[in-house]
Structures are given as structure tokens and as C-alpha cells.
Amino acid sequence: MDRANKMDLAAQIKSIMIRVLDLQIDPEGLDEKVSLYSPTVGMDSLSLLHTLVEIEKEFDIEIDDEDVMLAELRNVGSLVHMISGIVDAEGGKA
């Protein structure tokens, strides 16, 4: 996946996060270094699951539990990186 597609993918993932978590922020304002569990994002295990389900639908991919466990999801960038790898491997819609 080239750089432009990765940036577009990151923006799509951030948009999904903002919608699912009902965040009052623009995708451009959601820095990849922000912790998923910070007050800015406020993710918990249930909202992570809901976010992943929406990402699966949007990109027509399947996210395995093992992928999530191995990804050590800590910040927005780690989530984007994990999804990018899955989209590359499965050929989902980016």
C-alpha cells in the first residue's frame, strides 16, 4: 500500500472511531500518538469491540482475536497499523 492510500486508510479509521465513540473532534485532530484509553478517546473493551466490528464492515475484512492480542493496541497509530496490515493481507477495501 502506498503512502497516499495509508493516509486515506488512517483517515477512514479515525472517522470510524470518531463516529463509534461519539468524539467531538475532526479526524485530522486525532493524533496517532494519542492513547486509546486517554480522556480524549476514552476507549474501553466494549467500545474497542464495537469499533473493530465497524472497521470490519467498512473495509470488508475479518479481524481475528489473535491479531488484536498481538497488536498491543495502545494508541491510535497502533490501531491504524494493525488494520493496515490486515487490509494489505486480505485485500479489503482501502
Return the pLDDT at 94. 56
How far is the C-alpha of 44 from the C-alpha of 5, rounded, in Å?
28
Asked whether the whole model's pTM tops 0.75, one would answer: yes
Return the pLDDT at 93. 65
Q: pLDDT 10s digit of each residue in the chain, 94 long?
A: 566 677 789 999 999 999 999 999 998 899 999 999 999 999 999 999 999 999 999 999 999 999 999 999 999 999 999 999 999 888 766 5
Which neighbouring-strand residues pair with 75? 35
Task: For residue 71, give the CATH number of its domain.
Answer: 1.10.1200.10
Return the pLDDT at 5. 78
Domain encompassing residue 53: 3-90
- Count of structural domains within the chain: 1
Q: Taking a C-beta distance cutoff of 8 angstroms, is the pair 58, 12 a contact?
A: yes
- Measured from the Cβ of residue 68, the count of other Cβ atoms closer than 10 Å reads 15
